[in-house]
């Protein structure tokens, strides 16, 4: 098969002065993932490496630089899934991991379990050679200020937590490798001012991330609660299996999200034949794509 790699860096009203940072971030992620695919590596390794780049990039709501929860802490969620075997690894509410997707990958590869949360996840990671960090190492001044402003504003009037303009900078990747296997990965700091312990869609299997060679690989971003209610990544993958083109299914999934539960967000979708879709109902979404014949990136559906 000819490899394909598709990544996203969140779907919301990305302001003009943040467009370049988002485009650079998704392009760097493509470069890292493509290196893996180009030397004959697996789609699983490719999505992991692509997501690590975006976790390390403070532009995004993943890894260092993520949104802070109500208590002023970073709490991270991530999932990775392999389409050939349906093996998956997820972590939720971790506070001491720079790259939660690395811990998720260890769970996929080395644990009989699929999902670990909080201290148990961190203990598993440490036992498998992943260094823990301080929560403060994940916090940047921009986010301290953002939370302070949000909370000050929230005291005066009830903010619209679910406005499409509210930032959704979760990151994700889907890939097809030369063996014909697909994989998906999603990583997030969740939503601004979230309650401690709140888990969003991103790391839940079938919600923010899914991969099955027989259907499709999907990664979503956006307001997590509505996406969870529809199990949207699996919903989309199943429609690809019943014969619809990923391009149409991704658009259909986002329409369904809006029509059924008034949700907003975006999705990347790829099947094992290399056909893909990118859709969002937010003003912008950062994405990038690479195949053997083309390399593209964009900040909206129109570009």
What is the set of active-site residues? 170
201 binds ligand ASP (CB under 6 A): yes
What CA–CA distance (Å, rounded) separates 207 from 267?
Answer: 11
3-state secondary structure of 221: strand
DSSP H helices, 84-134, are 100-110, 118-127
- Here the tokens at position 141 are 């001044």
Residues ≥6 apart with Cβ < 8 Å to 152: none
Q: What is the Cα–Cα distance from 209 to 184, expressed in whole angstroms?
A: 6
Please, what is the minimum distance in Å from the beta carbon of residue 165 to ligand ASP? 13
CB of 265 to ligand ASP, least distance (A): 6
Counting Cα atoms < 13 Å in the Cβ hemisphere of 280 gives: 31
Asked if 193 touches ligand ASP (CB under 6 A), the answer is no
DSSP 8-class letter at 206: T
- Told to check if 219 binds ligand ASP by CB under 6 A, we report no
Query: Applying CB under 6 A, which part among 34-42, 49-57, 98-106, 184-192 lies near ligand ASP?
Result: 184-192
How far CA 35 is from CA of 28, 42, 131, 290, in Å, comes to 11, 11, 25, 11
Dist CA 213 CA 139 (whole Å): 37
89 lies in the site for ligand ASP, by CB under 6 A: no
Closest CA to 288 of 188, 175, 164, 206: 175
Of residues 143 and 181, the one with the C-beta less far from ligand ASP: 143
Question: Residue 22 CB, nearest distance to ligand ASP (Å)?
Answer: 13
What is the closest distance, in whole angstroms, from the C-beta atom of residue 42 to ligand ASP in the complex? 26
191 part of the interface to ligand ASP, by CB under 6 A = yes
List the x/- string, 47-86, binding to ligand ASP by CB under 6 A.
--------------x-------------------------
Based on CB atoms, which residue is closest to ligand ASP, 251 or 257? Answer: 257
Task: Determine which residue in the list 200, 206, 226, 246 makes contact with ligand ASP, applying CB under 6 A.
Answer: 200
Which residues lie near ligand ASP (CB under 6 A)?
10, 61, 168-170, 188, 190-191, 200-202, 208, 221-222, 224
């Amino acid at each position: 098969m000819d490899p394909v790699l598709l990544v996203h860096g969140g779907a919301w009203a990305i302001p003009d002065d943040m467009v370049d940072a988002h485009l650079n971030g998704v392009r760097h992620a493509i470069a890292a993932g493509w290196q893996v695919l180009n030397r004959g590596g697996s789609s699983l390794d490719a999505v992991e490496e692509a997501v690590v780049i975006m976790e390390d990039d403070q532009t995004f709501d993943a890894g260092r630089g993520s949104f802070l929860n109500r208590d002023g802490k970073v709490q991270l969620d991530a999932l990775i899934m392999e389409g050939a075997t349906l093996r998956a690894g997820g972590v939720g509410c971790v506070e001491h991991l720079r790259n939660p997707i690395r811990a998720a990958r260890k769970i996929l590869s080395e644990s009989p379990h699929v999902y670990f949360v909080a201290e148990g996840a961190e203990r598993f990671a440490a036992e498998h050679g992943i260094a823990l960090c301080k929560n403060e190492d994940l916090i940047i001044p921009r986010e301290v200020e953002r939370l302070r402003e949000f909370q000050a504003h929230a005291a005066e009037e009830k903010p619209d937590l679910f406005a499409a303009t509210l930032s959704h900078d979760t990151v994700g990747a889907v890939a097809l490798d030369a063996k014909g296997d697909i994989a998906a990965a999603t990583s997030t700091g969740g939503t601004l001012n979230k309650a401690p312990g709140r888990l969003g869609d991103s790391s839940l299997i079938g919600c923010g991330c899914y991969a099955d060679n027989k259907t499709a690989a999907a990664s979503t971003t956006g307001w997590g609660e509505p996406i969870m209610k529809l199990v949207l990544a699996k919903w989309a993958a199943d429609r690809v299996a019943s014969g619809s083109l990923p391009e149409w299914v991704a658009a259909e999934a986002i329409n369904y999200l809006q029509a059924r539960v008034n949700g907003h967000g975006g999705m990347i979708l790829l099947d094992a034949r290399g056909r893909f879709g990118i859709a969002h109902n937010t003003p912008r979404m950062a994405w990038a794509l690479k195949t053997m014949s083309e390399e593209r990136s964009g900040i909206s559906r129109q570009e």
